[in-house]
Amino acid sequence: MTHQAFVQSLRQIVGAANVLDSDVHLQLYQYDAYLEERRPDAVVFVHSTEEVSRVVKVCHDFGVPFVPRGGGTNLSGGTIPFKGGVVLEMIRMNRLLEVDVPNLRARVQPGMFNLELGNALAPLGYQYLPDPASQKAATLGGNVAENSGGPHCFKYGVTTNHVMGLTVVLSDGEIVTVGGEAPDQPGYDLTGVFVGSEGTFGVCTEVVVRIVRQAEGVKTMLAIYDSIERGSETVSAIVAAGMVPATLEMMDQLVIQAVEKSLSCGLPLDCATVLIIEVDGLKDDLEAQTEAIERLCLAHGAREVRVAKNDAERALLWAGRRGAFGAVARLTPSYLVCDGTVPRTALPEVLRKVAEVGEKYDLQIPNVFHAGDGNLHPLILFDWRDAEQKERVMKAGMEILALCVQLGGTISGEHGVGLEKMDAMRLVLSEADIRSQLKVKQAFDPSDLANPGKIFPAPLEVAHVQ
Ligand SMILES: Cc1cc2nc3c(=O)[nH]c(=O)nc-3n(C[C@H](O)[C@H](O)[C@H](O)COP(=O)(O)OP(=O)(O)OC[C@H]3O[C@@H](n4cnc5c(N)ncnc54)[C@H](O)[C@@H]3O)c2cc1C
């Protein structure tokens, strides 16, 4: 096979303008929000399920790997074409196909941005709940593939709890549906299996999502602490008191200072940490919930609790939280976003130990994270141009993941495994576990063309995989 013959076959399907293979174009698709790079052999813009099917069939016939790509915002190297091949650019499949309010569902194409779906539903009084902080630039296809979370997932669950069905193109080009519009489909729960499969089972070309009525009212609080331990203790105390706020987010001092420098949200620069706590529900009940949480925060050492007085104040708090990763990016040329979880009761201990890892490797590690879920995001700051620093960062990142596991948690909360955490999988899975998972991959993608070389390290006893 020549590259030219392959590219020509692709052009016959999608048109010449929708296939890129010049050096400069390929360079633009060799990275995502993780730290590794690898250039694809071609980039193909697709516009429909049928087009995806035909393009994937050509890849299958030529034995070429393919990698679906949405917004490219993933933090684990999921869209890096590790084994070369085609990047399937999904971003033009971005239409809202149907909103079915009486049945509480919507049908969307995977290239639609998460926030755009929210914006389309809001005037109807409805919402789609998973809300990754990257929602302006992350697509629903990417959210499905990473089983993404977000601030509101503490109360409402992550993407898998809000996807009812999918249209999927398998790696030989066959089009299948998993799940569907009815709530309880017969057969295996393949929707649950596909969500979180990081592009390694095939290409999702349509998503049926669950939508819900917007809450009648919302109140957002900022609890301010002089001690990071007291702040993180409050998280467990709130839950232990039987309360489940819609969000329970935490930012430490370095992050607060970065956010203030770039966004001026009115956060206090001298505190150790803040919690952003939001309650939602019936208007009558909100005042009581807010007061109970305020009392708990103060009893656990908060120096002050501010309640947003109006939508503008609330929006400012969220702008700070959602803009935190971007703000921190102004501190150093690069950073590694760690993503691990611990039981929320272990938050004070893990934060202390993360700081010790920073000291050990001489690295600054600010924290901004989904505290209610015990889902940490230590951001390890460094300069990617310095190979020695990068090595230290990788070691520190791995040590933090090991810490999470030791404390009863795991190596990923929401950002996926991708290329980044393949080795860390052995911290949580046995060889038998890895082999059984790879059998699922083989069932979906026997020719190993869908985003190959991701998620699982090769099993030590490869011969056992059949
Ligand atoms: C500033 C910032 C904040 C973030 N905050 C959060 C957060 O709060 N919560 C969270 O969970 N994540 C967060 N992320 C990570 C990231 O945004 C999510 O993983 C997101 O879901 C990725 O969506 P995407 O469209 O960018 O996907 P991409 O990065 O393009 O792809 C991600 C993976 O999905 C696969 N994929 C993409 N589209 C398809 C498809 N149609 N079919 C099959 N596979 C597909 C890709 O092959 C890849 O493996 C954040 C990232 C950044 C940069």
What are the pLDDT digits (tens) for 373-396?
Answer: 999 999 999 999 999 999 999 999
My answer on whether 227 and 148 are in the same domain is no
CA distance 446 to 314: 49
Closest ligand 1 atom to the C-alpha of 325? 1
Q: Identify the pLDDT of residue 182.
A: 86
My answer on whether 107 and 201 are in the same domain is yes
Strand partners, 368: 251
Residues with Cβ < 8 Å from 443, sequence gap 6 or more?
none
CA distance 76 to 34: 5
pLDDT band at 463 (very low <50, low <70, confident <90, very high): very low
411 part of a folded domain: no
Q: Work out how many domains the chain is built from and give that number.
A: 5
Q: What CATH number does the domain containing 320 carry?
A: 3.30.70.2190
440 part of a folded domain: yes
Q: What's the mean per-residue pLDDT of the chain?
A: 95
My answer on whether 126 and 204 are in the same domain is yes
CA distance 237 to 437: 37
> How does pLDDT run across 419-430, given as a tens digit for each residue?
999 999 999 999
Which domain range does residue 75 map to? 3-89
Q: Identify the pLDDT of residue 185.
A: 86
Q: Identify the pLDDT of residue 466.
A: 38
Give the type of residue at 184.
D
Strand partners, 64: none
Instruction: Please name the residue that has the structure tokens 């009212």.
Output: 217
417 part of a folded domain: no
Mean pLDDT to the nearest integer, 73-85: 97
Instruction: Please name the residue that has the structure tokens 């770039």.
Output: 262
Q: How many CA atoms lie within 13 A of 356 on its CB side?
A: 9
My answer on whether 101 and 207 are in the same domain is yes
Hey, which of 69, 116, 191 would you mutate to test ligand 1's pocket, going by the most ligand atoms within 8 Å of its Cβ?
A: 69
My answer on whether 81 and 159 are in the same domain is no
Q: Identify the pLDDT of residue 216.
A: 95
Closest ligand 1 atom to the C-alpha of 144? 21
Please determine, for residue 465, whether its predicted confidence score (pLDDT) is greater than 80: no
Burial class for 45, CB neighbours closer than 10 Å (0-12, 13-18, 19+): buried
Residues with CB under 6 A from ligand 1: 32-33, 67-75, 78-79, 90, 110, 132-134, 138-139, 141-143, 145-146, 148-150, 198-199, 203-204, 325, 414-415, 451
412 part of a folded domain: no
Closest ligand 1 atom to the C-alpha of 149? 11
Q: What CATH number does the domain containing 382 carry?
A: 3.30.70.2740
Residue 381 belongs to what H/E stretch? strand 379-382
Q: Identify the pLDDT of residue 255.
A: 97
CA distance 393 to 147: 26
What is the distance in A from the centroid of ligand 1 to the CA of 416?
A: 9
> How does pLDDT run across 250-281, given as a tens digit for each residue?
999 999 999 999 999 999 999 999 999 999 99
